[in-house]
Amino acid sequence: MAPAGRCCWERKMLLSLLLLIICPSCLISIKISPLIEKIDDHKDFKKLLRTRNNVLVLYSKSASAAEQQLKFLSNIAQDVKGRATVSWIDCGDAEGRKLCKKLKVDPSKKPNGVELLHYKDGTFHTEYNRPNTHKSLIAFLKDPEGAPLWEENPDAKDVVHIDNEKDFRKFLKREDRPLLLMFYAPWCGVCKRLMPSYQQAAANLKGSYVLAGMNIHPPEFDRLKEEYSVKGYPTVLYFEKGKYMFNFEKYGASAQDIADWLKNPQAPTPEAPEVAWSETDNPVYHLTDADFDQFLAEHPSVLVMFYAPWCGHCKKMKPDYEKAAETLHAESGAGVLAAVDSTVHRAVSEKFKVTGFPTVKYFENGEEKYTVPHLRTEQKIVEWMHNPEAPPPPELSWDEKPSSVLHLVGDEFREALKKKKHSLVMFYAPWCPHCKSTIPDFTTAADTFKEDRKIAYGAVDCTKEKNQELCKQEGVEGFPTYNCYNYGKFSEKYSGERTESGFIGFVKSLREKDQSKLGKKKDEL
């Protein structure tokens, strides 16, 4: 007679074997991130696509086949939180098998038994067939329709791709061969035009020279940008034995041009330094901290332009300002034009609270009288100096104008929206031209629903300090960005037409869905 303990053990083994035969995946326990949504039901799948507009779905032939990929996707889900959703459908269990059959997806045909499909705006978008790396997946989910990363291009395999500052420092220490390094930004057109030649040169010169690339646009590389004086893209640096020598500045170069230059690298010919405006021959009086007050005492009517040499708007205004000065110079009693370089003469600029450039101020009998931001052209300057008067009041900002739009700030954001069933929120920057052109339509749409207590149109100015962290949390990467919220919780992004009818139609469709659901519930009752 077998011992009791042995019988119990044999029974457990037999039960396990039977369970394994009936349901191979039942004995596999997989811990998945709470950020990964496991879907078993077709209704849940439809709801997912209806409420999220950027969804990556992992289909697996079994739970065991998905285990490794789920661990990897857990980190991805964390890094794209708020921007994209990662889900899993196990086609090996009973419910999942029905769903996969309905969706006509069969991951068992794939070599590793898993398949990644992407859904955008409620419908299938594409099969994910880019490299299965953290960097590529993150880039894809941030911009599903964007171009692949440079290192994903097979023609760029001979270019050394550097990901971070730590790797950059290590690379310089160990590399003895002559090195050309392109600091670039993914969106930069000049970079894209140079890349094919750069790639070909990297292949042709392999073994003798090293050509590398590094996306240095993100803010975490600000220290490197400052260290190597990166003012624009691309910035191509030449190193010997890890030591920076000088820049390569032939941005239209062919592969042969790059090869020829590397055989005899030369520092670029220095450009002649820009002559300071105050040192050029022009009719504008250039004032300093020392002579500013004395000049005003001697001239009863003075228009002063406070500027910075690097300021683009100042440079654009200079020709008109000089012409206006010349015209007024020929007239008696019409006043004079002066200028102050605020980067040099800071005391007088601080005295008159100059914070941006150009700032144009009018002084009468030695006293500041008006700030006149509307004076930019020769004609307007001359006309105004003939009859100086108070400028028109500055236009009210969007949040200062009365409207039905809720202007939300920092901590108030969630609190203001949690009582609203549907909220469409526009994240914007006041300087953004696309935002400016859309504001009237968005405001009118908000007025349409002003009587509906469950509907809200909101706006967040992402340039305000209190809103910067909020905009980051809500996945705002450009302006304008439109997010839809359900009782304060993010539900989907709006990517429809930026018109009054588009904004109104979108919210109406949400309301119609609510009524349809209510009708179904009544029928069921």
Given 8, 91, 100, 311, which residue is catalytic? 311
Residue 100 annotated as catalytic? no
Residue 367 Cα to chain centre, angstroms = 45
Residue 91 annotated as catalytic? no
Which has the closest alpha carbon to 59: 99, 20, 24? 99
Q: In sequence order, what are the beta bridge partners of 86?
A: 36, 56
Given 8, 23, 100, 191, which residue is catalytic? 191
Residue 7 annotated as catalytic? no
How far apart are alpha carbons 99 and 186 in whole angstroms?
Answer: 39
In the sheet that holds 179-184, the strands lie side by side as: 160-161, 210-215, 179-184, 235-240, 243-248
The β-bridge relationship of strands 114-120 and 123-127 is antiparallel
How far apart are alpha carbons 414 and 423 in whole angstroms?
Answer: 11
How far apart are alpha carbons 333 and 313 in whole angstroms?
Answer: 29
Amino acid in position 37: E
Which has the closest alpha carbon to 234: 257, 216, 209? 216
Residue 191 annotated as catalytic? yes
Q: Max alpha carbon distance in the chain (Å)?
A: 127
3-state helix, strand, coil in the chain (%, to 5): 40, 20, 35
Per DSSP, 62 falls in state S
Given 7, 91, 100, 314, which residue is catalytic? 314
Name every residue whose Cβ is closer than 8 Å to that of residue 389 and which is 6 or more positions away in sequence: none
Which has the closest alpha carbon to 371: 388, 348, 350, 396? 388
- Active-site annotation, residues: 188, 191, 311, 314
